[in-house]
Structure 1
Amino acid sequence: MMQLLKDLPVKPVKRESWLNLGRIVQALELVQDLIVISLCIGLFSFMVLQIWTMFLSLIPPIHFHVVTADILSLLILVELFRLLIIYLQEQRVSIGVAVEVSIVSVLREMIVRGVLETTFMQVLAACAFLLVLGVLMVLRVWLPPTFEGIDPEQEVSRRYKRRLAKEMGHSDF
């Protein structure tokens, strides 16, 4: 009985022609790219305003605390901009850049607040968080980006593109 079921020809399920998943996915990816581009433009504009504010804060009397906070905030914004650019180019979030943004953000808060003004538990938590992020950075360098030469994301992408090409080849458009 099982052999008879295995020998039966399997007909592929034909989807309705109005529901083309390939086109829907392409449209959603386009919208997502437009959102990321608008984020890039907004972030770049905010960085320009931040630089202008930073230059105005350099007019005497100079408050080093404010200038240091502005410079560190600008570094965080630059890293976030770099993260968005990498996403636009490669369609992925760079783990290394995300970890770098986290490290700079934590250090900025510790520097701006002052280590002497924060509680012992907050300093201990920040140190543990920075230690974990440092370990992530080291592991990211030592571990290869692929598993035995096969990048799982690229394999999934190849399968998706093959399936999409097959659907486009069989469609009635």
Structure 2
Amino acid sequence: MPASIGSGTPLPGEVRWYQQFRRVQIVQSLEAIQDLIAVSLCVGLFCVMVLQMRILFSTLLMAPQFHAITADILFILILVELFRLLIIYLQEQRVSIGVSVEIAIVSVLREVIVNGVLETDWHQILAVCMFLITMALLMVVRVWLPPTFAGVDPEKKVSARMMKEGPFANH
């Protein structure tokens, strides 16, 4: 019986099963798959925006209804912001808190406009106001917070990597 099977120490020259994996290559493969998913989301979102624009223009050609047109325009703006969020993710490999909060604010305001403030229950209006105040506070507090935890600044790392690998690299 070999010494490494029952004991915790491997034989000289023996490689444990978990050491055979190349973690760097696995992580790079998973990141590539994740980027592929984000790109497919971008393409799908772009197609939805084009279809929504077609619906908007067909609505304008018929008897224009201000309520429906406003809702369609705000929906397109939400889609544009989501597209921008995906682009930021692809460029910087992070999700932007500011853009996410902006999307949430515009989405809530769109629902209030579509449903109508006068037709909405006062409890819902109060909840929307509290949510919007919370989102505004998050936007203000975000400015004072450090970029990330424990002095790690992903934007600095991305900038350094872009300078090293990107179009500004000294070849």
Whether the TM-score (by the shorter chain) exceeds 0.5 is yes
Superposition deviation, residue 151 in structure 1: 2.5
Stretches of structure 1 lacking an aligned partner (at least 5 in a row): 1-12, 158-173
Which residue pairs with 1:143 in the alignment? 145
* The 10-residue stretch of structure 1 (124-133 or 14-23) with the greater mean CA deviation from structure 2: 14-23
**Change beyond 3 A, Cα 1:15–1:27:** farther
Please, what TM-score do these two structures have when normalized by structure 2?
A: 0.77
> Which residue among 24, 37, 40 is the counterpart of 1:38?
40
Q: Cα deviation per residue 1:70-118 (whole Å; 9 max; x = unaligned)?
A: 0000000000000000000000000000000000000000000001111
Which residue pairs with 1:118 in the alignment? 120
Which residue pairs with 1:90 in the alignment? 92
Letter in structure 2 aligned against 1:124: L
State how far apart, in whole Å, the 1-side matches of 2:126 and 2:88 are.
33
> Which residue among 55, 66, 69 is the counterpart of 1:67?
69
State how far apart, in whole Å, the 2-side matches of 1:93 and 1:121 are.
32
* RMSD of aligned Cα (Å): 2.5
Please, what TM-score do these two structures have when normalized by structure 1?
A: 0.76
State how far apart, in whole Å, the 2-side matches of 1:99 and 1:22 are.
33
State how far apart, in whole Å, the 2-side matches of 1:40 and 1:115 are.
33
Superposition deviation, residue 147 in structure 1: 6.6
Assess if the C-alpha contact under 8 Å between 2:105 and 2:135 holds in 1: yes
Aligned residues: 145
- Which protein has greater RCO, CA pairs closer than 8 Å, 6+ apart? 1
**Change beyond 3 A, Cα 1:29–1:112:** same
Determine helix, strand or coil for the equivalent of 1:61: coil
Letter in structure 2 aligned against 1:110: V
Letter in structure 2 aligned against 1:151: V
